[in-house]
Amino acid sequence: MKTYDVVIVGGGIIGGSIAFELAQRNLRVAVLDRQELMREASWAAAGMLSPAPDCLAAIPLVPLGRASLALYPKFVDAVESASGMRTGYRTGGALEVVCHGDAQRELSTLVALHHGLGLACEPLPLDDARKMEPALGRGALAAALLPDECSVEPRTLAPAVLAAAGSAGATLCPGVQVISLALDGKVCGGVKISSGEIFHSAEVVLAAGSWSSQISDAAPYAPTIPVRGQMAALRHSGTPLRHVLRSERGYLVPRGMESPQTVVVGSTIENAGYEKRVTSGGIEKILAAANELVPELAKAEIIETWCGLRPGTPDQLPILGPVDIDGLVFATGHYRNGILLAPVTAKLVGEWIADHKTSIDWEKFSPLRFLRANVDRSATAS
C-alpha cells in the first residue's frame, strides 16, 4: 500500500512547485502524472512574469500576481540552489507597444489602469523606446515601460523545479493516471489510479491543469477548460532584443542576449478542445504580430513551432483552496498566468496544509464558487 502525507495530482509547474514547498516542510509527498512530468502547459509557456491584467475579468488577480512576482527572486534562489540548475530568470522590465488605433488614448488608458492597480508603468517617448530597443519597428505609435516585469525560461525552470522537489524528498511518479478521488463520504483519503490501485494520503492537492475537470468527483469544483495557445521560436542574427515586447496583437520574449538570438513568439487564444495542433493560420497570425513589432524578424529562421493548453476557467480566475471535502485542496485553473503564480500558489497551499490558514486571503478563488453558482442557477430556474 502506498501512503503519503500529501498526494499531488499533476506534475506541471503548479504541482511541482507545491511538491517542492511541502517537501521542504518535511512532509512525505508524491506527485502523480499520467505521463512525463512538465510536458503540458508548463513546457509550452512563454515565461513572462507579468501581473498586469490582460482583460477586465483578470483584475481581481492582480494582487496575487504582484505577490507572486515579489516571491520570485527567493523562489528562484531556492530552486537553483536545491537543484544546481538555472531557471533563466531575467529582470529588466517589458515594453508595451501600441501599433494601432488612437495610440495616445490607448497609452493613457494603459498607464492609468496600471497605476490604479499599483503597477509601475512609465510612458516612453518613441525615441527613448528605440534607444532601449533599437530594432523596434516604425509601426510603433506609442510605448510604455513596465519596469518591474521579469521573465523565466519555462523549459529550464520546469526541470529545475522537479529536481529541487526531488532533492527535498518528494517522490515523482510519471505514468500514473489518476481516475478519481478516494472518498469516504466527505473525507478524501487519497486517489484511485487507472490500474485500480489507491494512493493513500492525509491530503490530496488537485493540480491537473486543463484536465482537472476530467477527474471524476473534481469536475464540480474545477470546471477547467483548455484554451490553446500556439507559439514559435525564431533565431535571428539582427540586433538582439533586450526586453519582452508586447503589442495588442502578440508578444516577443528574448532568450539570452547574444547574437544569433532565440526569440519566442506568441500566442493565439483558441477554444479547440483538447486538440493540440499547430495550424498555418495560427502561426501566420503570431508571426505577423512579431514582424510588425520588429520587422527585422521577417528574416529570422523559424526553428520550432508548438502549442499548449492553458487551464482556463469560466470566470478566468484560478481555482485555489479547500472545499467541503476534508483533505482535498485545489490548485488549478491558472489560465495565462501559471508560471507567474507558481510561487504564491505553492506558498498558500503549503500554509494551508501545514497550518490551516493562509497569509493572503484566497476566498475569491475558492472552488466552492462554482457550486454556489450552480445552486443560484437552479434556484432561479425553479
Ligand X SMILES: Cc1cc2nc3c(=O)[nH]c(=O)nc-3n(C[C@H](O)[C@H](O)[C@H](O)COP(=O)(O)OP(=O)(O)OC[C@H]3O[C@@H](n4cnc5c(N)ncnc54)[C@H](O)[C@@H]3O)c2cc1C
Q: 143 vs 252, which CB is nearer to ligand X? A: 252
Least spacing, CB of residue 325 vs ligand X, in Å: 17
Quote the DSSP letter at residue 238.
S
Contact pattern for ligand X over residues 257 through 296, marking x by CB under 6 A = ---------xx-----------------------------
Cβ neighbours of 126 (radius 10 Å): 15
Contact 247, 48 (CB under 8 A): no
d(CA 287, CA 266): 8
Q: Which triple of cell numbers denotes residue 263? A: 526569440
Q: Is 238 in the site for ligand X (CB under 6 A)?
A: no
Q: Is 334 in the site for ligand X (CB under 6 A)?
A: yes
Q: Which stretch in 7-15, 141-149, 296-304, 359-367 sits in contact with ligand X by CB under 6 A?
A: 7-15
Q: Is 339 in the site for ligand X (CB under 6 A)?
A: yes
Q: Which triple of cell numbers denotes residue 302? A: 523559424
Q: 172 vs 208, which CB is nearer to ligand X? A: 208
Quote the DSSP letter at residue 314.
T
Q: Is 12 in the site for ligand X (CB under 6 A)?
A: yes
Q: Which triple of cell numbers denotes residue 369? A: 464558487
Given candidates 10, 189, 226, 250, which one binds ligand X under the rule CB under 6 A? 10
Given candidates 6, 7, 8, 13, which one binds ligand X under the rule CB under 6 A? 13
Closest by CA to 38, choosing from 199, 160, 203, is 160
Q: Which triple of cell numbers denotes residue 291? A: 514582424
Q: Is 222 in the site for ligand X (CB under 6 A)?
A: no
Q: Is 46 in the site for ligand X (CB under 6 A)?
A: yes
Helices assigned H by DSSP within 117-185 = 126-132, 154-167
Give the E-state strand segments of 119-250 in sequence order.
122-124, 142-146, 150-151, 171-173, 178-184, 187-193, 198-206, 225-236, 244-246
Q: 338 vs 350, which CB is nearer to ligand X? A: 338
Count of chain residues binding ligand X (CB under 6 A)? 44
Least spacing, CB of residue 126 vs ligand X, in Å: 25
Classify the phi-psi angles of 326: left when phi > 0, otherwise alpha if psi is within -120 to 50, otherwise beta.
Answer: beta
Coil, strand or helix at 290: helix
Given candidates 336, 343, 347, 349, which one binds ligand X under the rule CB under 6 A? 336
Which residues are at the interface with ligand X (CB under 6 A)?
A: 9-15, 32-35, 37, 39-42, 44-48, 177-178, 207-211, 215, 229, 231, 266-267, 308, 310-311, 332, 334-340
